[in-house]
Amino acid sequence: MKEYSQEIRALTMRWVRRLSREKFSMLFTLVQPMLFWLIFFGNLFQRAADIQVTQSSSYISFLTAGVVVMTVLNNGLAGGVDLLFDKENGFLERLMSTPIHRTSVILSRFIFVTTITSLQVLVILGVAWLFGVQPVTGLAGVATILLIGMMFGVGLTAISMAMAFSVKSHGDFFSVLGFLSLPMIFLSSALVPLAAMPGWMGFLAQFNPMTWAIDAVRPLILQGWAEALPHVGMVIGVMVLFDAICLYGGARAFRRAIG
Amino acid sequence: MSRPVAIDVSHLGKTYDKVRAVDDLSFQVYTGEIFGLLGPNGAGKSTTLRILITLLNPTSGSARIFGLDSVKDADRVRQTIGYVPQERAIDRFLTGREHLELLADLYHLSTEDATRRIPQLLQLVELEQQADRPAKTYSGGMKRKLDIACGLLPDPKVLFLDEPTLGLDVQSRLRIWDHVRAMRERGITVVMTTNYLDEADQLCDRIAIIDGGRIKALGAPNELKVGLGGDLVSLTVREEDRVEKLAAAVRDLPAIRAVTTKPNGLDIRVDSPEKALPAILEAANRLTCQLEFIDYHRPRLDDVFIAHTGRSIKDDQPKAEDS
């Protein structure tokens, strides 16, 4: 157990170090969702978006939940990238030739991605707060948002790692990533409520796990516990299932690649 | 000759998607020697190496490292060995020292052991000056030295090197060879793959020539060369019509093993060049047969490779895929 924690601490610190060495990339990773979506998109559509449709006092306040979950989505889907590079340049082999527990590398990645994502979610909520968006459920609500984000993020990161271990080249990986990310956002309640979507898009968006996550986060920010709880209960159930499927797939891909 | 065995490979086989990458391989590596797996790309040497370091499970047969099975006792094997993968296997964003610190934790060294060993290793591979610079600023030779330091960190009984000098300049290669020899001095058993004949020849105590997943020849480079049958003397004769006459005369000389004629000269296998060369020259003189060119060489590993695999190792060098 002591050895296990020693390994995981060291491997997690490696991800942190890498991030801190890539200051430029770190800045963009952290700032991009806030800048693009929350500040630009949120303010741009402030008047174009109908408050009757979004059912909220401003478009930014409506959009905040969407940007939080989008950040989780993007970080999760990109969570396997570094392992992909490790696999391609042989560093993964070097790690696996040491007497570490077979799960340590993956676990360190989950810890890292989850932590970074949570910090980013906090910053987004902070920026939204500057634009007058205050989560009505307070700190407990923020904690619940983080929990939902973590649960969604674990499944997504598992998908990303499974892809990293399965693809033949990193070109394939990035094509699939690019193909997945935007449709997932547009076919969810991130930018527009389902009711206001064209029928077929709204229909598809119902099946998007992102929609469920957003539908639980949004009332935590805008409405209050009474409206939020049923959604939160629902999304936790859904995410347990989602994570179980993703982790199972991820574990299989990992065993195929390593075992 | 019974020497203590470090690695015992027995009827090892590995099949990927119905392709036999390694086919019924058996050999032993003795404690304290430098053992080379020599072969062209795709011959199966990397597959063999990856089975030995527990990263691949064999389809059939077994590999034991100091009596530990590479599959059943994988975790204990990993504690016994060090591994130096091909050059790019480093994290460009970490410094040299951070690489060693990371691996120290993965080998579960105590903080005291790590702080004692890491500076020693940096000194050993002459990387102290650059230890705190990110690895992306390192030259190929420096990366290789860092690789070696990483491989030595666990204080292994066996060190596995995968193509240790691939793509390095001549000076760095010689330096790496020195390091590998120094490891042998320290009692470490070294197993390395290479597709450089001169490297196998000069560095390895024994080599296994692998081609098509099978061992074609096994032994000390010198044994293999002697096994081919004598040193080679090649004569180029000025007057081509005298070749036959000269051949007849040479065949009766002492210390001559075999004579083959070419249109413009002779290839002569000799037992002892000291005796044979003067006699050959004298015979040529006697027959007033003018020699244009004399080439004498000991059998090179090149010749051994061709003799056992039917082709030169350089024939398919450009193939990038190595399994």
Residue B84 near residue B46, CB atoms below 8 Å = no
Q: How far is A194 from chain B (nearest CA, A)?
A: 44
Residue B25 near residue B207, CB atoms below 8 Å = no
CATH number for the region B227-305 comes to: 3.30.70.920
Q: List CB contacts (< 8 A) between A98 and chain B.
A: 78, 103, 106-107, 154
Q: List CB contacts (< 8 A) between A14 and chain B.
A: 91, 94, 98, 102
Are residues B85 and A90, on separate chains, in Cβ contact within 8 Å? yes
Q: What's chain B's average pLDDT? A: 88
For chain B, domain boundaries: 5-219, 227-305
Going by their DSSP bridges, the two strands B291-297 and B60-65 should be labelled as unpaired
C-alpha span between B70 and A40 (Å, rounded): 57
pLDDT of B317 above 80 = no
The 10 Å Cβ neighbour count of residue A259 is 9
Question: Could you say which of A10, A17, A22 has the minimum Cβ distance to residue B106?
Answer: A10
Mean pLDDT of B187-203: 92
Tell me the CA distances in angstroms from B146 to A12, A165, B27, B90, B290, one per residue in order.
Answer: 21, 27, 30, 9, 56
What predicted TM-score, i.e. pTM, was given to this entire model?
A: 0.84
pLDDT digits (tens, 9 = 90+) for B123-132: 989 999 999 9
Q: List CB contacts (< 8 A) between B94 and chain A.
A: 14, 17-18, 21
pLDDT band at B229 (very low <50, low <70, confident <90, very high): confident
Question: Could you say which of B75, B88, B105 has the minimum Cβ distance to residue A6?
Answer: B105
Coil, strand or helix: which one is B14? strand
CB burial of A157-185 (b: ≥16 within 10 Å; e: otherwise) equals bbbbbbbbbbbeeeeebeeebeebeeebb
pLDDT band at B94 (very low <50, low <70, confident <90, very high): very high
- Interface membership of A97 toward B (CB under 8 Å): yes
Are residues B94 and A18, on separate chains, in Cβ contact within 8 Å? yes
pLDDT of A94 above 80 = yes
Task: Evaluate whether the domain defined by B5-219 bears CATH number 1.10.1660.10.
Answer: no
ipTM of the complex in this document: 0.88
Are residues A6 and B154, on separate chains, in Cβ contact within 8 Å? no
DSSP A54: H
The nearest alpha carbon in chain B to A256 belongs to B56
